[in-house]
Amino acid sequence: MFCRTLRTVTPSAYIDLHSAALLTRLQRLVGISTVNPPGENYAAITTELTRDLTALGLRTRRFTIPRTLLRQTLPPAQHAFPRYNVLGKLAAPGAKKTLHFNAHYDVVPVSGLWRHGSAFSGTVDAGWIYGRGTADMKGSIASLLFALQALRATGTTPRLNVEVSFTADEETDSVLGTGWLVEHAPIKPDYAIVMEGGELDQVCCGHNGTLWLEVTVHGRAAHGSMPERGINALEKMSALVLALGDYQRRLARRTFVTPEGKTMRPTINLGGEFSAGPGGKINTVPALARFTIDRRVLAVEDQSAAERDLRAFLAAAARKIPQCKISVAKISENFSCFSPPTHPFFTAMAGCVTRVRQQPTVFNVSTGFNDMHFFSHHLKIPTLGYGPGGEDFHAVNERAKVKELLASAKIYADILTRFAG
Ligand SMILES: [Zn+2]
């Protein structure tokens, strides 16, 4: 009797009727502080998420990152903090294609004074839910789980097989999170939705990449009273930094117009970190100087070409400066990605967003990066970014809008029931 009554309710109506349940779940997730670094309470949250997915009928497994790999990958201060990824699968009768949903469950550290006391309160106030992770991105997790709950409760069969991954460490480098997942977990998606990067009326079809280099300038120490006997690394570094002004201007001439009509340009930020070598003293000619370069790679640029080009420029610039010896090390990189939003998967998603939000939809390219590139670049499948988003990401009073959490849940349910691949 109860079941038959529910069957007459659509997933969307179910979501509206039971909206309080979404918020309760999100409060519970926000209450487990998964601050990274160092990576706290990952065991607790992945236990909870495994239980939630299992209860929703997904075949679910929690993967523990092997200790040796963890020790090889993370700095010693994080060796006591285990890493886990959760994977759930739901086979839909008759479905031929598989859609993968991904979200990271770690959050950035907390500081400052929050409006409702604790940063992990999950307080609902005037249509918003507050707390670290509400926007980035436990809100997405809660929306997706609620969408799956709505499908199950209303007896609605998805037209696609479903894979769900909740992964670690996106706020650091994703190596043991989504990076590990696409390499080692038994997944075989045809499409992916990373549940951030696009929000409101924007569906994300790509994001910038990063290339982080550290340049070391090697000089020669001498007594400060006889500077002519040394090679001043700071002076050489200054000349090199000035020369990089040319490179900045050269990059600024490269443009990429996104599908929504925004012009993006590659950038470099110099010296986010800079330092002298050990033994620096006011009366010593500095023997070493070091600075970083944060190169933002356009969604349509080739990452390795960008790196080769920058390294070649640095080498040539250093050769023009007398006695300027440098070495260049790569600190890290994140691939950019871009899928032209002409594929039916993108059209279908834009249709769902437009239908649920009653507003035209545009395709955006995100300046920051997220885990989309692991699916788009590594697995080479059509990948988009969409989630409930929010305000003050990584800041005090991070919050998500209740209306958008519910809208995202409806959109996820909608794509699963309308698109067959
Ligand atoms: Zn995020």
Read off the tokens for 281: 């003293």
Are 374 and 406 members of one domain?
Answer: yes
**Residues 176-212 pLDDT 10s:** 999 999 999 999 999 999 999 999 999 999 999 999 9
Measured in angstroms, how far is the CA atom of residue 291 from the centroid of ligand 1?
27
Domain co-membership, 235 together with 371: no
CA 243 to chain centre: 33
Q: Is 280 in the same domain as 136?
A: no
Distance 136 CA to ligand 1 centre (A): 5
* Whether residue 23 is found in the same domain as residue 141: yes
Instruction: Say if residue 303 is in the same domain as residue 351.
Output: no
- What mean pLDDT comes out for the span 378-392? 97
Is pLDDT of 5 > 90? Answer: no
98 and 178 assigned to the same domain: yes
pLDDT of residue 277: 83
Which residue segment(s) compose the domain that 248 sits in? Answer: 209-334
**Claim to verify: residue 324 and residue 355 sit in the same structural domain:** no
Ligand 1 centroid from CA 384, angstroms: 14
pLDDT digits (tens, 9 = 90+) for 108-141: 999 999 999 999 999 999 999 999 999 999 999 9
Residues 276 and 131 in one domain: no
Q: Considering 283, 316, 334, which residue would you say is the last residue of a domain? A: 334
DSSP conformation letters of 200-239: TTEEEEEE-EEEEEEEEEE-B--BTT-GGGSB-HHHHHHH
> How confident is the model at residue 203, as a pLDDT?
98
Tell me the CA distances in angstroms from 32 to 44, 120, 177, one per residue in order.
7, 8, 18
Q: So what's the pLDDT on residue 7?
A: 55
Give 2's pLDDT tier (boundaries 50, 70, 90).
very low
Q: Tell how far the Cα of 137 is from the centroid of ligand 1, in angstroms.
A: 5
What number is the average pLDDT over the span 82-95?
97
- Tell me the percentage of the chain whose pLDDT exceeds 70: 98
pTM for this entry: 0.90
pLDDT at 279: 82
Q: How many CA atoms lie within 13 A of 167 on its CB side?
A: 29
SS3 content of the chain, % helix, strand, coil (to 5): 35, 25, 35
Query: What Rg value do the Cα atoms of the chain yield, rounded?
Result: 24
Q: Which of 2-6, 28-32, 340-344 has the lowest mean pLDDT?
A: 2-6
* Cα gap 84→40, rounded to integer Å: 11
How far does residue 107's CA lie from ligand 1's centre (Å)?
8
| Whole-number Å distance between alpha carbons of 402 and 21 | 12
Same structural domain for residues 129 and 9? yes
What pLDDT does residue 1 have? Answer: 41
Domain boundary among 334, 358, 378: 334
| 7 and 153 within one domain | yes
- Tell me which residue of 310, 306, 271 sits closest to 291, measured CA to CA: 271
* CA 87 – ligand 1 centroid, Å: 18
Q: How far is the CA of 8 from the centre of ligand 1 (A)?
A: 36
Instruction: Give yes or no for residue 64 having a pLDDT over 60.
Output: yes
- In the reported structure, the alpha carbon of residue 98 is separated from the centroid of ligand 1 by a whole-number distance in angstroms of 23
Judge if 309 and 222 occupy the same domain: yes
* Ligand 1 geometric centre to CA of 93 (Å): 32
| Amino acid identity, position 265 | R
Number of domains observed in the structure of the chain: 2
**Mean pLDDT over each residue of the chain, to the nearest integer:** 96
Report the CATH number at residue 252: 3.30.70.360
Which of 283, 302, 334 represents a domain boundary (last residue)? 334
C-alpha 171 to ligand 1 mean position (Å): 7
State the CATH number of the domain containing residue 386. 3.40.630.10
Question: For 66-74, what is the mean pLDDT?
Answer: 97
pLDDT of residue 371: 97
Asked whether residue 6 carries a pLDDT value surpassing 60, the answer given is: no
**345 with 410, same domain?**
yes
